[in-house]
């Protein structure tokens, strides 16, 4: 029989003795009597802010998403806001939620606690995309904001993303300080659950209109879209919030032939037509691709439940193929810089931002156009931090990460799939106007800059034991640095936890000027890049592989493609994944 640690039993007993509702207590008693493993998973830790905020399986316990963990997080955040903005007469926050089960309930709990603390709340009247929440924070000049979402996680999950006054997610020191405030709450009696309805204002349609007007202003090729307005596009929101604004954004850009996957246009937190609502997974786009083949569409787009990530499929030799996040980011950034150059908008103060695990091809493209590029840690909040730091000094054009999140313009301070869908459709129209498909354009980019290919492998290790196993894997990589990958020497090691970059040929060390993070990167003599990091939002460790080769002739595309696949597989074998 599974043995339960005394600390876990003590914490569970505190919940049984505390100010919790009877339904919660009954669930805990059931676990104590019948399911000790579930009790361990529910109480072995407290939910913490990671790269995506608070996220967990719904249920009773300190390691679960429920009224009390949400309430405590909100009370801690409210306390922190009061300490940080003592001179603000009326503190304000905005709150949004996605289509997940319990999302509206958690949003209302959050609004109740904020209002009970004397904080004015702008609460969206129904589900809305996460990026619109970011926009609303700045629009209403709020000091913070919350969106209830677990992004692309399975249906059992929900989450709580916290935002600061710039519309960006919490970063250090605010994220850690909020957690400290939450940890100071030892008794649920300290959480003010009694709502003040006078401080809660419902918002919706008006904000939608202003936000969409900003989105439409990003278009760089309206005349091209006018010529290509009948480009056939298939879009699916995968039962999420994208159904609210993505079709409207495409219409605002001028696209007149957009087909929605109707079965997936109905918001539903059980995501009945997919195993996982994650646009990174091919199965999530199956229904959309079938519709695209039926009507002969050239572009397929799918957004996750909170509409901050987008996955796309394009035609290659007549057949639909999926593009990964690096490829979509490449097309988007190349188009933006080419158009800014063509329109004479590059003045020498522009920049793009990518994460350290995203393709280095973006840096090469930026260098061609004389545009500065910045590398940041994984997590879009770090891209946004650069935008905030350089506001009024330099001009942000766009940015992205390999995990299907992109941003154009700076009126939103998070990844935005509404913007991304509209802009990627514009890229498709621009390519079509030149007699090219999206994949043809990608091949042209590879011929100019080199054929870059990437792959991600995620190894899932759930629960307390899984977390310990993942940490052991990281410790092993640190204690014994690989010497070769695919026969090519490892020449550079970057350890973001120690903040040191070491040249393994000369022994020279440099400081990495980024916050500390549990990430390792190995760079080889032939230009390969291997990155290893535990996920900040899911029970998995991620391995990122990036390789490259010249593509001198288009006829060699398939051959080089296969060679790069083989190189990645050889590296994976060497790594022992």
Write out the catalytic residue numbers: 151
Distances (CA, A) of 81 to 143, 224, 490: 7, 47, 46
Output Rg (C-alpha) for the chain, integer angstroms.
Answer: 24
Assess contact for 147 and 304: CB atoms under 8 A: no
Find the length of the chain. 577
**How far is 284 from 280, CA to CA, in rounded Å?**
8
Q: At what angle do helices 438-449 and 417-433 cross, to 10 degrees?
A: 90
- Which residue do the tokens 């901050």 mark? 308
Quote the strand ranges of 451-536, DSSP E.
451-460, 484-485, 488-495, 500-503, 509-511, 520-524, 529-534
Q: Which of 36, 18, 77 is nearest to 53 (CA)?
A: 77
Using the 8-state DSSP alphabet, how is residue 435 labeled? T
Structure tokens given for 131: 């990026």
The count of C-alpha atoms lying within 13 angstroms of the C-alpha of 476, restricted to the half-sphere facing its C-beta, is 9
Using the 8-state DSSP alphabet, how is residue 54 labeled? E
The DSSP element (H or E) to which 384 belongs, if any, is: helix 380-389
- In three-state secondary structure terms, 400 is strand
Quote the strand ranges of 116-219, DSSP E.
120-124, 144-148, 157-164, 200-203
Q: In what order do the strands lie in the sheet with 120-124?
A: 54-57, 157-164, 144-148, 92-97, 120-124, 200-203
Distances (CA, A) of 115 to 98, 207, 218, 564: 21, 21, 36, 56
In whole angstroms, what separates CA 78 from the centre of its chain? 25
- Which residue do the tokens 């904000």 mark? 207
Using the 8-state DSSP alphabet, how is residue 178 labeled? H
Assess contact for 65 and 106: CB atoms under 8 A: yes
Q: 143 in the Ramachandran plot: left (φ > 0), alpha (ψ -120 to 50) or beta?
A: alpha
Structure tokens given for 405: 């999140």
522 phi and psi angles, rounded to 5 deg: -115, 130
Assess contact for 23 and 67: CB atoms under 8 A: no
Greatest alpha-carbon span in the chain: 72
Nearest 5°: CA angle at 311, between 239 and 560? 155
Neighbouring CB atoms inside 10 A of 171's CB total 19
**Residues linked to residue 314 through DSSP beta bridges, in sequence order:** 299, 321
Structure tokens given for 440: 């043809």
């Amino acid at each position: 029989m599974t043995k339960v640690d005394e600390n876990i039993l003590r914490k569970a007993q505190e919940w049984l003795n505390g100010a919790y509702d009877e339904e919660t207590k009954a669930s805990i008693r059931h676990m104590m009597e019948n399911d000790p493993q579930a009790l361990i998973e529910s109480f072995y830790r407290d939910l913490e802010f990671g790269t995506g905020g608070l996220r967990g399986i719904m249920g009773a316990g300190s390691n679960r998403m429920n009224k009390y963990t949400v309430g405590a997080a909100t009370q801690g955040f409210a306390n922190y806001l009061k300490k940080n903005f003592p001179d603000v007469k009326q503190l304000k926050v905005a709150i949004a939620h996605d289509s997940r089960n319990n999302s509206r309930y958690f949003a209302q709990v959050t609004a109740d606690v904020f209002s009970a603390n004397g904080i004015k709340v702008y609460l969206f009247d129904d589900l809305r995309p996460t990026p619109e929440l970011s926009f609303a924070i700045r629009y209403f000049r709020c000091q913070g904001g919350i969106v209830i979402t677990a992004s692309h996680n399975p249906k059992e999950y929900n989450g709580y993303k916290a935002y600061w006054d710039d519309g960006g997610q919490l970063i250090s020191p605010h994220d850690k300080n909020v957690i400290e405030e939450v940890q100071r709450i030892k008794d649920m009696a300290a959480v003010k659950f009694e709502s003040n309805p006078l401080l809660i204002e419902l918002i919706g349609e008006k904000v939608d209109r202003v936000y969409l007007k900003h989105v439409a202003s990003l278009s760089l090729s309206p005349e091209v879209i006018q010529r290509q307005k009948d480009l056939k596009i298939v879009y699916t929101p995968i039962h999420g919030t994208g159904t609210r604004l993505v079709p409207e954004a495409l219409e605002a850009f001028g696209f007149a032939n957009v087909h929605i996957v109707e079965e997936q246009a109905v918001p539903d937190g059980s995501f009945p037509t997919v195993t996982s609502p994650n646009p990174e997974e091919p199965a999530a786009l199956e229904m959309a691709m079938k519709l695209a083949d039926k009507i002969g569409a050239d572009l397929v787009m799918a957004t996750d439940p909170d509409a901050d990530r987008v996955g796309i499929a394009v035609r290659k030799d007549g057949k639909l193929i999926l593009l990964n996040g690096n490829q979509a980011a490449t097309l988007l950034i190349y188009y933006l810089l080419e158009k800014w150059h063509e329109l004479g908008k590059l003045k020498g103060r522009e920049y793009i931002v990518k994460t350290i695990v995203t393709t280095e091809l973006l840096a090469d493209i930026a260098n061609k156009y004389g545009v500065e590029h910045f590398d940041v840690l994984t997590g879009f909040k770090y891209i946004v931090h650069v935008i905030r730091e350089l506001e009024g000094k330099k001009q942000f054009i766009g940015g992205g990460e390999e995990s299907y999140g992109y941003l154009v313009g700076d009126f939103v301070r998070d990844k935005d799939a509404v913007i991304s869908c509209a802009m990627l459709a514009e890229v498709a129209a621009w390519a079509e106007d030149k007699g090219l498909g999206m994949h043809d354009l990608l091949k042209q980019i590879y011929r100019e800059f080199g054929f870059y290919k990437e792959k991600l492998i995620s190894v899932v290790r759930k629960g307390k034991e899984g977390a310990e196993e993942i940490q052991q894997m990281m410790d092993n990589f640190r204690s014994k640095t690989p010497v070769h990958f695919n026969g090519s020497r490892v020449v550079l090691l970057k350890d973001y936890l120690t903040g040191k970059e070491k040249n393994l040929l000369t022994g020279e060390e440099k400081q990495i000027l980024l916050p500390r993070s549990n990430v390792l990167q190995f760079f080889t003599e032939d230009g390969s890049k291997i990155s290893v990091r535990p996920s900040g939002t899911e029970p998995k460790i991620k391995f990122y592989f990036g390789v490259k080769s010249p593509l001198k002739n288009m006829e060699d595309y398939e051959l080089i493609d296969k060679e790069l696949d083989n190189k990645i597989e050889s590296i994976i074998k060497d790594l022992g994944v």
